[in-house]
Structure 1
Amino acid sequence: MKIKTRFAPSPTGHLHIGSVRTALYSWLFARHNKGAFVLRIEDTDVERSTQESINMIMDSMAWLNINWDEGPYYQTKRFDRYNEIINNMITYGTAYKCFCSKERLEYLRKVQIKAGKKPRYDGYCKQNKISGTIPHVIRFCNPQEGDVTFKDQIRGNITFNNKELDDLIIRRTDGSPTYNFCVAIDDWDMGITHVIRGEDHINNTPRQINILKSIGAPIPTYAHISMIFGSDGKKLSKRHGALGMLQYRNEGYLPEAILNYLIRLGWSHNNKEIFSLSEMIDLFTLNKVNRSPSLFNIDKLKWINHRYINQLPAKYIAKHLYQHIKNQNINIQSGPPLTKVIELFSKSCKTLKEIAYSCRYFYEDSFTIDNKYLNFTHYQLLEDIKNKLMLTANWNIENINQVLLSTADEFKVNKKIVYMSLRIAITGHDGSPTLTHVIEAIGLNKTIFRIEKAMNFIKNKKNNI
């Protein structure tokens, strides 16, 4: 039997971290077993489904390199198929028309709640064989006796009593089929062997199994992944750092870091933390997925992202960094290559956005110098450094460092004072990567220009006193 899994998001908003983890686990299980992975868009909620959300789903999966073998299939394009099966079910007595009004159903619900019972449809139209042509829904004729038991690949055997399941609506009055019915038929038609999804779908599983049994369809194997909570154990939200998937890209995370973080968010292999994609595929199995809830930790994600910034080739990182540079409106034509910038900032910056924000001074001279850092006592230091740098035969880190040390020695000042005054003059900041490496990357001409600019700043400051 060829393994076949699916990812079936609803296009009603952003693709969030929990959904992407579901997609990843389904994709890895298929790849590990040399099977197929299907993308299905569950867009039966026509009022809330949008093309924008569909585009975000596609873009997110493309960015993460979670590729699909079949699809995307759209449920709204399969209504004829669903209705064909529903009509057959009516003919064979496994579904029936229900003409009950909203008022009757609401009254029934109140009576049942008052009696301490679970609200459920009482089968009135089925028992009385009501018929007609006025607006109606179609209900599934759920078994009234026995149990539904399935072996969840993460949680073990799960059993539901059929008496707890009512005759759910499978087609609305407007003729549109409902979620649980569409899902069951899709899984059958598409040959899905393993359904891997969130634990919030556990209660849907017995209903879908009963529908599949009623039409003689095979039952998939199910695996329900636990929820993801915030670090405080509460429902995951933006305050925990949870974002739509493309927002993580915009915040400067690498796709490899996201995938690595997500696979560890409920799955483990010994004490290993960092996994290449090929290792994920080779090692992933459902029996290592934890049934306990996972806690989302943005600091852990940043730690993993930082590791990947330092481990992946600089040329590859530069391709992802370039978009962030564009977002900051930085023109990189007159400065060092991005690979050089990555080399300088990879140890201190945990995201690509942070690198892009920090590296502007490599390409632009128009930064502001803070009054509190440079005064006339630094003027002669900067002038001496400028003159020595202009006479430097070979522009390299070692020679630049020698210039700075000799200036500190000649003026008998702590080298920290020399380095800080020059750092402010060159970058406009009191913090940067190793100064000599920064100066070497910026180049002689820009360095001299900025030192002269800082000297003029000091002159003007003195004249204005």
Structure 2
Amino acid sequence: MTTTRFAPSPTGALHIGGARTAIFSWLLARNQGGAFRLRIEDTDRERSLPEHTAAILEALAWLGLDWDDETVYQRQREARHLAAVQQLLDQGKAYWCECTPEEVDAMRETARAAGKKPKYDGRCRCKGLGPGPGRVVRFLLEDGPRVVVEDMVKGHVAVEREELDDMILLRSDGAPVYNLAVVVDDHEMGVTHVLRGEDHLPNTPKQMLLYQALGWETPRFGHVPLIHGADGKKLSKRHGARAVLEYRDEGVLPEALVNYLVRLGWACGDQEIFSREELIKSFTTDNLSSSPARFDPEKLLWLSGHYIKEAPAERLAALLPAYVEAQGLPVPGPEDLAAIIHLFKPRARTLVEMAQAAAFLLVDDDALTYDAAALGKLLSPPPRALFEGLLARLEQADAFTAEALEGLLKEYVAEAGVKFKELGPPLRVALTGGTNSPDLSHTMAALGKARCLARIRRVLKEQSA
């Protein structure tokens, strides 16, 4: 059975590079009907914090990446790591080393000066040392053929043994190193396929040698290129990158982020938009790109807008109040909530955009703030005669639906002998405080007759003061 894993370190939030790796691993397992497992690599005792672990779990759950079996915590498995080190010592495949870090640095400088690979020279291999203060355990790198990685993404990767050295397995403080712990944990978790970032590729030959030395089957490896910004440089916040939960807080729907990240380095023909079921059915590692992908925040927002348009109104109604409240606005009742979703569902790219755009519907009429530029341009001097005539017409209106208001406005400007642009933009500012809102008749219907009249009267009063 195909078993994949995601193994984040809880030294910070889950960012989109790690999230993409998790999604690829999850899809590979689900496509094969296998298992996706989660391991928290919390061996960095100073930087690994419970709140980071909680945030990672929350982000994975928000993305919909469910994992099988219990979460594994690497720190709790130290006894198993130490047992593997002892096995290698007992078999003569590892040895104790008393060389200090300064001595090892000197060895490397000597080798570099001689034009050789700067590495540990193996001088403690035959000393027969045992444990002692300041000593480490090193892996005995035997002579042999090149280490070959048949990478699921990169293809054939070969590393000469001369490029490697007797790597440390156990530090002088008694802590097992990353490469040893990962091998033991992946083996005992039954991992058959490892998808991870290409920054881990240099570790893979070392880990493969450890698998062989321990007599364990080696999993298949795949290393996906890192994500770059539009300028081709390493992705950072200046390129628009955020932690996963920041995207949630900005009102991006999780399916939009998943869809975007999958397409950031994987393709299935020219198709851009995938349901989760389509992703599971279509995903294979064959179509993973070996070139870095470039992050485009605008494309993500476009996808988010698409998914908001496609989302059921009931789902948006459940999500939106939290974003409205975060803007410092009163939480809408069911009627206002339905009006907001109806008005802004076709045009909002995020739920934050929807909440911000809906502010004019939620504030009291006398608390509406006006865009200063729009106020000066469109309401000074005020279109007083047009507004007064419209006010009288609206007061007499029986129906206040979008359809009825559209007809009323067209009829009014025709009778007044003006073009619609002479009434529409100033009226929009008077009703919403700005120049950007949905269709005017729908906006007026959402506000309702009493509020429309109140806001027009307020503008007339303020402009005459």
TM class by shorter chain equals: over 0.9
Q: What is the match of residue 159 of structure 1?
A: 158
CA contact 2:212–2:218 (8 Å) conserved in 1 = yes
Q: What are the Cα deviations for residues 64-100 of structure 1, in whole angstroms up to 9, with x where unaligned? A: 1111112321111111111122122222212211111
- Between the aligned partners of 1:47 and 1:142, the Cα distance in structure 2 is 31
Match of 1:391 in 2: 396
Alpha carbons 1:335, 1:362 under 8 Å: kept? no
Q: Is residue 93 of structure 1 aligned with residue 98 of structure 2? A: no
Structure 1 equivalent of residue 260 of structure 2: 261
C-alpha separation between the residues in 1 aligned to 2:49 and 2:174? 21
With over 3 angstroms needed to count, the CA separation of the structure-2 counterparts of 1:82 and 1:377, relative to structure 1, is closer
Q: Is the 8 A contact 1:26 1:37 kept in 2?
A: yes
Deviation of residue 8 (structure 1)? 0.6
- Rounded Cα–Cα distance in structure 1 between residues aligned with 2:332 and 2:324: 12
Cα deviation digits, residues 300-338 of structure 1 (max 9, x gap): 212211221212222223333333212102113368443
Contact residue 303 and residue 350 of structure 1 kept, 8 A = yes
Q: CA deviation at 1:377?
A: 4.6
CA distance in 2, matches of 1:406, 1:458: 26
Distance 1:63 1:148 in 2: 39
Distance verdict in 2 for CA 1:104–1:377, change over 3 Å:
closer
Q: Work out whether 1:451 is the aligned partner of 2:450.
A: no
How far off is 1:212 after superposition? 1.3
Classify the secondary structure of the residue corresponding to 1:124: coil
List alignment gaps of at least 5 residues for structure 1.
461-465
The answer for the alignment partner of 1:57 in structure 2 is 56
User: 1:86-123 CA deviation, whole Å, 9 max, x = no partner?
Assistant: 12222221221111112211211221121122221111
1:336 touches 1:362 (CA, 8 Å); kept in 2? no
Over residues 137-175 of structure 1, what are the superposed CA-to-partner deviations in whole Å (9 max), with x where a residue is unaligned?
A: 111222233222232122222222222211111111111
Please name the residue that 1:367 is paired with: 368
Contact 2:360–2:368 (CA<8 Å) still a contact in 1? yes
Q: What corresponds to 1:427 in structure 2?
A: 432
State how 1:69-88 maps to structure 2 within 5 Å. Answer: 69-88=68-87
Give the deviation of 1:192 after TM superposition. Answer: 0.3
Task: Return the offset for 1:376.
Answer: 5.9
Aligned to 2:109: 110
Secondary structure of the residue aligned to 1:430 is: coil
State the match for 1:418 in structure 2: 423
Q: How far, CA to CA, are the matches of 1:134 and 1:451 in structure 2?
A: 84
2:319 pairs with 1:327:
no
Distance, in Å, in 2 between the alignment partners of 1:340 and 1:329 is 19
Taking the TM superposition and a 5 Å limit, the aligned residue runs for 1:199-238 are 199-238=198-237
Supply the AA of the counterpart residue of 1:426.
L
- 1:47 is matched with 46
Alpha-carbon distance in structure 2 between the residues aligned to 1:139 and 1:453: 81
* Mapping for residues 135-174 of structure 1, pairs under 5 Å: 135-174=134-173
Query: In the alignment, residue 367 of structure 1 is paired with which amino acid?
Result: L
Correspondence 1:239-250 to 2 at 5 A:
239-250=238-249
2:178 is matched with which residue? Answer: 179
| Aligned match of 1:378 | 383
Contact kept? 1:324, 1:352, Cα under 8 Å: yes
Partners of 1:102 and 1:137 in 2: how far apart?
Answer: 10
| Identical pairs, percent | 39
Q: Distance in 1 between matches of 2:342 and 2:40?
A: 41
CA–CA distance in structure 2, aligned partners of residues 331 and 30 of structure 1: 44
Cα drift, residue 457 of structure 1: 1.0
Aligned to 2:202, the other structure's residue is in SS state helix
**Offset of residue 383 of structure 1:** 2.7
Give RMSD over aligned pairs.
Answer: 1.8
Large movers: runs of 4+ above 4 Å: none
1:122 aligns to what SS in structure 2? coil
Q: TM-score by structure 2 length?
A: 0.94
C-alpha deviation, 1:180, in angstroms: 0.5
Determine the C-alpha separation between the residues in 1 that align with 2:382 and 2:242.
Answer: 49
CA distance in 1, matches of 2:254, 2:261: 11
Return the alpha-carbon distance in structure 2 between the equivalents of residues 133 and 446 of structure 1. 82
Q: Is the CA contact (8 Å cut-off) linking 2:424 and 2:440 kept in structure 1?
A: yes
Q: Which amino acid aligns with 2:75?
A: T
* Closer, same or farther: CA 289–339 of 1 in aligned 2, 3 Å: farther
Q: Which of 403, 407, 415 lines up with 2:408 in the alignment?
A: 403
How far apart in 2 are the matches of 1:377 and 1:294? 52
**What secondary structure is seen at the aligned counterpart in 1 of 2:5?**
strand
Structure 2 residue aligned with 1:463: none
- C-alpha change, 1:165 and 1:376, in structure 2 (3 Å) is closer
2:379 aligned counterpart, secondary structure:
coil
Displacement after TM superposition at 1:375 (Å): 4.2
Deviation at 1:256, TM superposition (A): 0.8
Structure 1, residues 20-78: CA drift from partner, whole Å, max 9, x if none? 11100100000011100001111122222222221221111111111111232111111
User: Structure 2: where are the runs of 5+ without partners?
Assistant: none
Q: Give the distance between the partners of 1:397 and 1:178, measured in 2 at CA.
A: 68
Matches within 5 A, 1:276-291: 276-291=275-290
Alpha-carbon distance between aligned partners in 2 of 1:7 and 1:218, rounded to the nearest angstrom: 19
CA contact (8 A) 1:395 1:444 kept: yes
The CA deviation string for residues 200-231 of structure 1, in whole angstroms up to 9 with x for no partner, is 11111111111111111111111111221111
